[in-house]
Amino acid sequence: MTLVVSRLRRSFGDRVAVDDLSLRIDDGERYGLLGPNGAGKTTAISMICGLLRPDAGRIMVGDREVTTDAVEARREIGFVPQEIAVYGDLTAAENLRLFGRLHGSRGAELDRRVAETLELLGLAGRAHDRAETFSGGMQRRLNIGIGLLHRPSLLVLDEPTVGVDPQSRNAILDAVERLAADGMSLLYTTHYMEEAERLCDRVGILDEGVMIAEGSRRELVAELGQLDRLRLSLDRPVDEEVIRSAPGVADAVFDGVNGEVSVDDARHRLTALLAAIADQGAAVRSVEVIEPDLEAVFLHLTGRALRDGGA
Amino acid sequence: MIAISATILRRYFRDRSNLFFVFVLPFVIILLVGVSAGSSLETEIGVVGARTPTGQIVLEELGSDDLRFFDGDAAISDATRAVGTGRLAGAIVFPERLADPIEYVRLPGFGSDGAARLDDAVELVNARAGLRAVARDLGREAEAADVAAAGVTMPMVRTERIGDDLWGGLDDSASAALTQTVLFTFLAGLTASVLLVEDRASGISRRHLTAPVPTWRIVAGEIVGRLLITTAQAALIVVATAVFFDVDWGDPFATGAVVVLFAAVAASCSVLLGSMVRRPESATAIGVTAALVLAALGGAMAPIEIFPPTMQVIARFTPHFWAIDALTVTMAGGGIGDVAAELGVLLAVTAALLGTAAVVRRRLLTR
Ligand SMILES: Nc1ncnc2c1ncn2[C@@H]1O[C@H](COP(=O)(O)OP(=O)(O)OP(=O)(O)O)[C@@H](O)[C@H]1O
Ligand SMILES: [Mg+2]
């Protein structure tokens, strides 16, 4: 299912939370929306899910327009909110059943979906425990389960791993990856760059309501003009000049046997570079590839770090 | 919609404190009212017109223990208010003119030993006066003189028990059942508003809206779930008091109509409160306070007849007043036609509140 968002705008008072946002997610595509706190991610997602009225702009899911009254378009979307929106005083299974019924599922089909979802998120053993007795990570997983129970064609996740331990976080990312592999389109917001890099085909970077960059990680990095770096440790010193003249290499700085080489595409150029080193009679003890990440892109574009402090 | 209503019920009745409020507390109160009738701690009786001829005679019978005398222009209203607020067991008013009836004030729901003593004294005076008249009529003058010698020198006394009109003259358990039904139905509704506040805070309410269901059906589910709670609470008290306390609720159709309409008022107030408050604790605090204050204002705690005139007017602005008014009529044997006016008022209030609740709720959900 294709999502097309055009020129979306929403302000609260005189604060513009989302400003002229356009984006497109193709069928089966995994799209990451990145941005620091207050960038407008949740606001954008609320509008995309028909929970918040845009001041301007248009949202199409397939050939249906999303509005706050659109019933049909909602069928296609699975929404996982940033906060844990589950009934603490109901069991995991009861939570899932309620939302399954709201999505029109009944009887044996509903039973099957509830069981599948619990299985997918590793909650099958706790199906009949109240959600309030769950750990934070398990509640997060249930939160996600409610959003995907009805097998939407577009799954929208708003920071689904916030405050989650590494184990639950992995379970969540695995489950999301599996769903995406089944062809579900994904809209994923986070301020964890590594999650976006792992899960998403394409990312959009939002800052103060404005989309400041969009593309695949590689495209964004290229746009940034930053090079990959190779950190090398050799068994004997080599001539910097010779390394510099290897194809794709922009710069090389060595201090004895340790050095760093800047190169346009590390993975691609590595073989040739290693050959050049071998030509000089040296052997490589270790090599580390450092690719500029989305953090660097963000820092470059805004002059600010993506996350303040430890958040 | 049914799914939402069912969830509300499930969650409401899973909460132990709600179970206590619904299943235990109303009956504890009705029992307490029943037990306390005739055994209130208050034994003092108010007397107005102690120096009038009838006053002197009756007071001889009463003895002078535990009496409080009222004089002056405001004597009657002062005494009545003291009875109404529970500071006196009852009050007796002796007329200046012998031919006028003795009046006395005694609250059915607040009966006491003192009040019983009052009843006995008045009856005794009446009986002796009656006996003397009978003896005379039969020409047995000697015996009539005996009766007179026994201390009875006045003609038959006409008495009126002002208190008999209170709560439609229902007896203790009936009036307690009625007022507790009204009070607790509303209370159940308002305490059920907490769930809505919680849902809003947790983001569940928003989440409901991502389902492919029109918003009005979600709102309807929220209202109907609460209507089921309030109706269940009312039905529980009505049925249990009918079975265990022998309360006669009158025409089931008329009583049912009043109860369901009042339950609908409570359910809409619940959704309104749940939409206006942001913290669950405030919903509980405001809900319980409002339920008690409205019950007091509407005459569910003390009979409306003893209210000062302004308060009697204010009472009419509470749904409780109309429900109590209607139920006193149906319990006294009235049919649906006898409570048409009250039902009309309740219906109008229900419609207005339901409409407001639905609109407020809808607006809140889809900003
Ligand atoms: N209901 C609201 N009323 C007023 N201002 C709001 C409201 N919702 C969001 N905002 C403002 O809009 C801006 C964007 O908020 P939003 O929640 O969309 O950011 P976000 O990118 O999701 O941030 P986070 O990473 O912290 O979740 C913020 O400045 C926020 O204060
Ligand atoms: Mg957010």
ipTM associated with this complex:
0.76
Q: Which residues of chain B have pLDDT under 70?
A: 33-43, 61-62, 64, 84-86, 98-99, 101, 106-119, 121-122, 124-135, 143-172, 366-367
**Same domain as B80, residue B229:** no
**Same domain as B45, residue B10:** no
**Same domain as B141, residue B72:** yes
Number of domains in chain B: 2
Sign of CA dihedral B141, B144, B146, B152: negative
Gap between the Cα atoms of A270 and B54, Å rounded: 122
> What pLDDT is recorded for position B132?
64
> What pLDDT is recorded for position A12?
92
More confident residue, A42 or B18: A42
Gap between the Cα atoms of B167 and B298, Å rounded: 12
Q: Which residues of B touch A75 (CB under 8 A)?
A: 212
**Same domain as B226, residue B355:** yes
Residue closest by Cα to atom 11 of ligand 1 = A17
Question: Is B353:B270 a contact under the CB 8 Å cutoff?
Answer: no
> What distance in angstroms lies between residue A35's CA and the mean position of ligand 2's atoms?
9
Which of B113, B144, B163 corresponds to the end of one domain? B163
A86 in B contact zone (CB under 8 Å): yes
Express as a percent the part of chain B with pLDDT over 70: 77
Q: Which residues of B touch A62 (CB under 8 A)?
A: none
**Same domain as B50, residue B123:** yes
> What pLDDT is recorded for position A309?
46
H or E element in which residue A301 lies: helix A294-302
> What pLDDT is recorded for position B39?
39
Residue A39 pLDDT more than 50? yes
> What pLDDT is recorded for position B40?
46
**Same domain as B280, residue B173:** yes
H or E element in which residue B130 lies: helix B113-137
Domain, as residue range, for B222: 2-36+169-366
Residue A254 pLDDT more than 90? no
**Same domain as B236, residue B133:** no
Task: Estimate the crossing angle of helix B2-14 against helix B215-244, to 10 degrees.
Answer: 50
Gap between the Cα atoms of A168 and A171, Å rounded: 5
pLDDT tens column, A195-225: 888 889 898 989 889 998 888 877 877 776 6
Does A41 contact ligand 1 (Cβ within 6 A)?
Answer: yes
**Same domain as B188, residue B112:** no
Beta-carbon separation of A75 and B212 below 8 A: yes
Whole-prediction pTM value? 0.73
H or E element in which residue B19 lies: helix B16-19
Segment A48-70 shows an average pLDDT of: 86
More confident residue, A51 or B87: A51
pLDDT tens column, A119-144: 988 888 998 999 999 988 899 999 99
> What pLDDT is recorded for position A292?
73
Gap between the Cα atoms of A36 and A38, Å rounded: 6
Gap between the Cα atoms of A66 and A56, Å rounded: 13
> What pLDDT is recorded for position A191?
80
> What pLDDT is recorded for position B128?
67
Question: Is B5:B224 a contact under the CB 8 Å cutoff?
Answer: yes
> What pLDDT is recorded for position B85?
65
Query: Using only C-alpha atoms, what is the Rg of chain A?
Result: 23
Window from A93-102, A251-260, B257-266 with minimum mean pLDDT: A251-260
Q: How far lies B175's CA from each of A203, B8, B33, B43, B303, in Å?
A: 70, 31, 10, 22, 9
Which of B144, B163, B182 corresponds to the end of one domain? B163
**Same domain as B141, residue B267:** no
Give the CATH number for residue B69: 3.40.1710
> What pLDDT is recorded for position B111?
47
Query: Using only C-alpha atoms, what is the Rg of chain B?
Result: 26
DSSP per-residue letters across B76-95: HHHHHHHHHTTSSSEEEE--
DSSP conformation class of B158: P
Q: Which residues of A touch B4 (CB under 8 A)?
A: 98, 102
Which of B128, B163, B198 corresponds to the end of one domain? B163
**Tokens standing for B294?**
């409205």
**Same domain as B236, residue B114:** no
Gap between the Cα atoms of A116 and A96, Å rounded: 11
**Tokens standing for A22?**
């356009």
> What pLDDT is recorded for position A308?
59
Residue closest by Cα to atom 16 of ligand 1 = A40
Among B70, B63, B62, B61, CA closest to B88: B70
**Same domain as B52, residue B12:** no
**Same domain as B49, residue B16:** no
Nearest CB to A104; choose among B15, B204, B212: B212
Residue A253 pLDDT more than 70? yes
Beta-carbon separation of B207 and A98 below 8 A: no
